[in-house]
Chain A
Amino acid sequence: MSSTAIGTERPSAVTARDLARATATRTRRSAHVKLWAGAVCTALVVVPVALANVLPLPGANAQDLSRRRLPPLSEGHLFGTDQLGRDLLSRILHGGQVSLTVGVLAVLVSGLIGIAAGAAAGFFGGWVDALVSRFLEAQLALPLLMMLLLVVALFGPSVTVITCVIAVAQWPEVARLTRSLVLVEREKPYVAAARVLGLRAWQVLLRHVIPNVVRPASLVVLLLLAQAVLLESALSFLGAGPQRPFATWGRIISDGQAYITTSWWLVTLPGLVIALLVVGVNLLGDGLRDRTRRRKGAGA
């Protein structure tokens, strides 16, 4: 659009072709490609998972011992069946509902904790900052996965427990980012103005500062969602994942591991589904981040 304007309205040495090859255009294009590819990959997994109850599939836990370990594309079983004759596609989709619920809830909880703690640390400074920063540092040094396994052993592998455990594992990232954003925001004139107008510190923080940092902070959330899905599947793989109502992805893979030499699909297909989803979410998050960074760069 702007390229034709320059090309026709005034004489310029910059041709439309130069513009198309310019770094800014290429950055925009690669962000665009990432966004689209990410959206497609994510949708390929999320839409069938969301529709799992509507699609004409055999029950996820319905066993048929006469039809064990059928290869993919056999009649009525697109992804084949497992060692107990259960339809693999149905298991993946229903398990995916649990995995995705855990992931989304975990990210919401960790986002809330992270933004609250990070904003308080950045805004109030002093002992609040010292406390939060110590926590952040300590968590870096902790044997994280071990602690998670321990807590799951303590409270049992229910969806609630695993959600909380993943949220606790992830809040530092959000907190660290929010803290650094608030540190910048705190020095801006509008904060001083709000103070002069007589607002209390926490009112300034809640009504004025946090709304300004929520958008950039929420960008990491997509990247965290990818990590949450991976973490949940790792926990399930180690046997500390939710068992009911359906086995989640990590569990399906660890169950299929014993049959890897004879029935490759039991491990390969669920893994591909996880990878597809996580790639999609990562690309989406990356593309969004590139786009905001460019806007910020253009505005400055």
Chain B
Amino acid sequence: MPIYLARRLGQSLLTVFLTLTTVFLLVRLAPGDPAAAYAPPFASSADLARIRAEFGLDDPLFTQYGIFLRDLFTGNLGTSYSFHAPAFDVVMDRMPYTVTLAVAALAVTTLVAVPLGVWMARRADTKRELGANVMTIAGQSMPDFWTGVMLLTVFAVLFPVLPASGFTTWSGLVLPTITVAVLQLALVSRLVRREMVSALTSPYVTVARSRGVSERALTWRYALGNSGVPLLTALGTRFAALLNGVVVVEVVFGWPGVGSLVVRALETRDYPLIQATVLVTATLAILVQLLVDLAYPLLDPRVRLGKAA
């Protein structure tokens, strides 16, 4: 177990490190000059050169990379050009908002998709199930930014019952959460349905039924309990994807999260900020996946970590 954990952590560190290096190279190869975004309008080229020197952008790429690595190991991610504050702090200021949105969306998805999937499994291949299936596929098929704009128009403009953008009250959470959840519903509910259908037809359910276990217990305790591992895996992957994937929804709703920060950082070529965002989101996503893997033995005692096939 400790060996397994150490190996997983080592792999994760390597992944994060390689990702950071890729991003470091990509942003510096990309056209666009941070100095131009940072300087006042009509700055002279001498001013621009001075700013570049100040940021260390006129050093050779290798020197910059060396400095970047040295700073990284001392826990210094640099100063954001546009916020004039440590990049790590700027990201961490925004992170709670993105995590809130991701958690809320995932909670709504789970609360709707699990019962829906169970219902679909109980009524597998009926007309009503087909209808529900088509509805979730339709939800998955709408572009998220479009769903967002539509919800905004209906519930914030035509019938102003919910705030249009930002996160000042908790009601501001409703529309972005729905937008993200609609996209995830199909995936999770279909997974639950598939697992439940195979569980409900397996021998242990027949045996339990013959011993007089109630249908309700069969469905929720026996079959759903055995669908726990794949469900948790899917939810973990979804959460990791959400941390990175709510960019578009955050832009639509003016959500003060990491996603809208990234878009702005890319526009202004704020290198330290881009790198800090990648570091934080990648680390968080990997941590969540690791936690999910560690939770397997709790759900299914047959799983032995580190002895996977």
A interface with B by C-beta (< 8 Å): 23, 26-27, 30, 33-34, 37, 134, 137-138, 140-147, 149-151, 153-154, 226, 230, 233-234, 237-238, 250, 253-254, 257, 260-261, 264, 267-268, 270-271, 274-275, 278-279, 282-283, 286
Contact = CB atoms under 8 A, between A and B. Distances in A.
B308 to A, nearest CB: 12
B240 A141 contact: yes
B245 interface: yes
A151 B25 CA distance: 11
B251 interface: yes
Interface of B: 11-12, 15-16, 18-19, 22-23, 26-27, 29-32, 124-126, 129-130, 133-134, 137-138, 140-146, 149-150, 152-153, 157, 237, 240-241, 243-245, 247-248, 251, 262-263, 266, 274, 277-278, 281-282, 285-286, 289
Contacts of A23: 124-125
12 contacts: A37-B134, A134-B11, A140-B285, A141-B282, A143-B277, A145-B245, A145-B247, A146-B262, A146-B266, A150-B274, A271-B143, A278-B143
A146 B277 contact: yes
B134 A154 contact: no
Contact of B286 (A141, A146, A230): A141
Contact of B153 (A143, A144, A226, A261): A261
B289 A141 contact: yes
Q: Main SS of chain B's interface residues?
A: helix
Nearest to A274: B143
Contact of B237 (A37, A140, A260): A140
B26 A150 contact: yes
Given A140-B237, A234-B248, A271-B150, A150 B266 contact: yes
A282 B137 contact: yes
A26 B140 contact: no
B202 to A, nearest CB: 15
Contact of B150 (A142, A144, A145, A268): A268
A148 to B, nearest CB: 10
A257 B137 CA distance: 25
B32 A279 contact: no
Given A154-B29, A260-B152, A261-B157, 12 more contacts: A26-B125, A30-B129, A140-B241, A144-B245, A145-B245, A146-B262, A147-B26, A153-B32, A226-B141, A234-B145, A238-B248, A271-B146
Contact of B137 (A146, A151, A261, A279): A279
Given A153-B266, A233-B143, A141 B150 contact: no
